[in-house]
Amino acid sequence: MHWPLTRVGKAHRPGESESEDRPGGKKGLPGQAAAAFPEGESMENPGAPPAHAFSDADRSAVYQAIFSRRDVRGQFLPDPVPDDVLGRVLLAAHHAPSVGFMQPWNFLIVRAPIVKQRVHDVFCTANAEAERMFPDEKRAIYSHLKLQGIVDSPVNLCVTCDRSRSGPVVLGRTHMPAMDLYSSVCAVQNLWLAARAEGLGVGWVSIFHQQALQDALGIPHDIVPIAYLCVGWVSHFNDRPELEKAGWLPRLALADLLYYEQWGETRPAQAEPLSAALTDLQTAIHQQGTFPA
Amino acid sequence: MHWPLTRVGKAHRPGESESEDRPGGKKGLPGQAAAAFPEGESMENPGAPPAHAFSDADRSAVYQAIFSRRDVRGQFLPDPVPDDVLGRVLLAAHHAPSVGFMQPWNFLIVRAPIVKQRVHDVFCTANAEAERMFPDEKRAIYSHLKLQGIVDSPVNLCVTCDRSRSGPVVLGRTHMPAMDLYSSVCAVQNLWLAARAEGLGVGWVSIFHQQALQDALGIPHDIVPIAYLCVGWVSHFNDRPELEKAGWLPRLALADLLYYEQWGETRPAQAEPLSAALTDLQTAIHQQGTFPA
């Protein structure tokens, strides 16, 4: 913790203005210079939380969702997911950022066993092909991995992207045509984190021939299926990603993935406090299994 | 709130086992059947939180981050971002899901004014082209929108995707080749939500010719720039997306974006409780400006 817990016994509620809710915060008036730190505080006083920051407890909850989210394949329980819970995680998806505010997503909800089975068949065809692509040493691990919970999970969701949603010219997509696809991915990640907070597991299945998946769900070929998600309550969440636990690939050192000012420009930890901070954070996570927020 | 607040005055900390931390939770033992609801509870008792769910307060904090996150363009303050804060949001990005656990991202950190200015020049070229693409009635709005805070924000981050990171065959990318790009997008969204909890604004700038952006930052042409992010403390967060406020496009009704079992199959609210739940949630948000978690 980097600043003291300022609000004990008072839960922060969404939508409340942080400036009213947090001691030291104040509302800016027109013409009044804003400051990142509350009145009388500054970077000289590192004990003051920045304006608009969540409380320590709320900030920790956000990090908890991020760090304990898992791609769930084999831990689904058959219990139904209540509509209000499903509604909230879909609403979280709908509040993702979207390029030019085009909101290009649809959500196709699959609960019928016959439809799930059809999608499962599409997976099986692609997965048999995929397995043959790996070299021998990886194929042995691959064949033992459970890669989907299509039939096991009570709800499947196909998140799509309708590239024509708001006309041919989209603000922010004029020079990066993939931006609308990326918007639908942001919706998936919002849904995934909201689901984790609700206690719901989510698994993203991507081993499909796109056209076969579209045909199984009646999706027109100009609508892009971004993610096929298996959703349900779980027996447990793994403490680490399954592929990391299975020895498929290791977690990379984040400090090794940073460049400064130009691609390829690295800085040793002693010359760059950020690099040192990252190494400390990752060491703490590795040793304690918790995020030191 | 759908179930009572079970833990008063005790903050939930990331990494703590939910089953130890939440009354009613229990650890599953090998061979023991797991249940979605705590012992003695079931769907018959809707007052019981599901196992592994966050506390009400923690769940609300996650939704607060999702609903109050904004694409920030014009509200940046010049105050520096401390390394520990920047480190935490980068670590949140690094814990995004990635296809085949390939972690294809790099983070190029730009703080030097001369580099920011070069990127800003690349933006200006593309933006002048973009403006001309819009029909007259949209062009008037477009020309008044502030679309980036490249120079105003203290830190810029370019999040990339190295498609060759873990060899030619990637688990889960065999049939959907864009999955690695989507992984880097998930990293962006994690970073964005963590930043909101820290009180940091983030703006995603996408109006660039890709090659011009790569050249400005020395990025090889086979490395894909996914997102160019402006990061910094802010004077305020808008209560709604800027493009919604400016009348560019309206927020869509989520219930209209749902299909059931097959593409195009809709259900009226009276026939589908989920659709009714969504309409209620969106009406409450519209009227109260808060998320009714």
The CATH number linked to A179 is 3.40.109.10
In this prediction, residue B268 carries a pLDDT of: 83
Residues A169 and A209 both lie in one domain: yes
Query: What pLDDT score was predicted for residue A262?
Result: 98
Count chain A–chain B contacts defined by CB atoms under 8 A: 461
Cα–Cα distance for residue pair A236/A249, rounded to 1 Å: 22
Q: Looking at the 3D structure of chain B, how many domains does it have?
A: 2
pTM of the model: 0.89
Residue A46, pLDDT score: 58
List the beta bridge partners of residue A223: A162
Q: Which residues 192-251 on chain A approach chain B with CB closer than 8 angstroms?
A: 192-194, 196-200, 204, 206-210, 217-220, 223, 226-227, 233-237, 241, 243-244, 248-249, 251
Provide the token pair at B104.
Answer: 């294809």
In this structure, the strands spanning A200-205 and A107-110 are: unpaired
Question: Which pLDDT does position A270 carry in this prediction?
Answer: 83
> Within a domain: residue B28?
no
Q: Which of A277, A288, A195 is nearest to B90 (CA)?
A: A277
Domain identity same for B237 and B262: no
- Statement to judge: residues A146 and A272 lie in one domain: no
User: Quick one: A151 and A239 in the same domain?
Assistant: yes
Cβ distance B281 to A2 less than 8 Å, yes or no, reads no
pLDDT at position A290: 72
Widest pairwise Cα distance in chain B:
67
Could you tell me the mean pLDDT of each successive run of 10 residues in chain B, 293 residues long? Answer: 29 37 36 68 65 95 97 96 95 97 98 98 97 91 94 98 94 95 98 98 98 98 98 96 93 95 91 88 82 67
User: Domain for residue A106, yes or no?
Assistant: yes
Answer yes or no: is A120 within a domain.
Answer: yes
- pLDDT for A71 equals 98
The verdict on a CB contact (< 8 Å) between B77 and A35 is yes
**Per-residue model confidence (pLDDT) at position B283:** 87
Name the residue facing A61 among B62, B218, B244 (closest C-beta): B62
Who contacts B11 (Cβ-Cβ below 8 Å, separation ≥6)? A5, A56, A57, A60
The verdict on B82 and B225 lying in the same domain is yes
Paired tokens of A150 = 């299509």
- Mean pLDDT computed over every residue of chain A: 86
The ipTM estimated for the assembled molecules is: 0.89
- Rounded to whole angstroms, the Cα distance separating A160 from A97 reads 15
Say whether both A267 and A129 belong to one domain: no
- Collect all residues of chain B within an 8 Å Cβ-Cβ radius of residue A14: 60-61, 63-64, 67-68, 290-291, 293
Residue A290, domain member (yes or no)? no
* Contact (CB, 8 A) for A65 and A193: yes
Write out chain A residues lying below 8 Å of B265, CB-based: 218
Among B84, B185, B277, the residue with its CB nearest the CB of A87 is: B277
Within-domain flag for A283: no
> Do B178 and B287 belong to one domain?
no
Question: Are B79 and B178 in a shared domain?
Answer: yes
User: What number is the average pLDDT over the span A87-93?
Assistant: 97
pLDDT for B47: 62
Q: Does A19 fall in a domain?
A: no
Instruction: Answer yes or no: do A162 and A256 share one domain.
Output: no
Q: CB A175 to CB B129 under 8 A? A: yes
Tokens of B73: 């363009």
Residue A35 to residue B234: CA distance in whole angstroms? 8
Please tell me if residue A178 touches chain B, with a CB cutoff of 8 Å. Answer: yes
Q: What is the pLDDT of residue A36?
A: 84
pLDDT of residue A137: 86
Q: What is the pLDDT of residue A242?
A: 93
pLDDT at A5 over 70: no
Region A186-202: mean pLDDT is 98
Closest CA to B237 of B8, B9, B65, B31: B65
Residues A236, A260 within the same domain: no
B81 touches chain A (CB under 8 A): no
Q: Measured between CB atoms, which of B110, B179, B235 is closest to A34?
A: B235
| Whether A94 and A197 share a structural domain | yes
Contacts of residue B285 in chain A, CB cutoff 8 Å?
91
Residue A10 in domain: no
Evaluate whether B55 touches B22 at the Cβ level (below 8 Å). yes
**Chain B: residue whose CA lies nearest to A228:** B176
Query: Which residues on chain B are in Cβ contact (under 8 Å) with A178?
Result: 178, 181
In a domain, B109, yes or no: yes
Residues A114 and A203 occupy one common structural domain = yes
What is the residue range of B218's domain? 68-245
Token output for A125: 């065809």
Q: A68 — contact with chain B (CB < 8 Å)? A: yes
Which residues on A lie below 8 Å from B145 (Cβ)?
171
Higher pLDDT, A77 or B288: A77
Inter-chain contact A186–B185, Cβ cutoff 8 Å?
yes
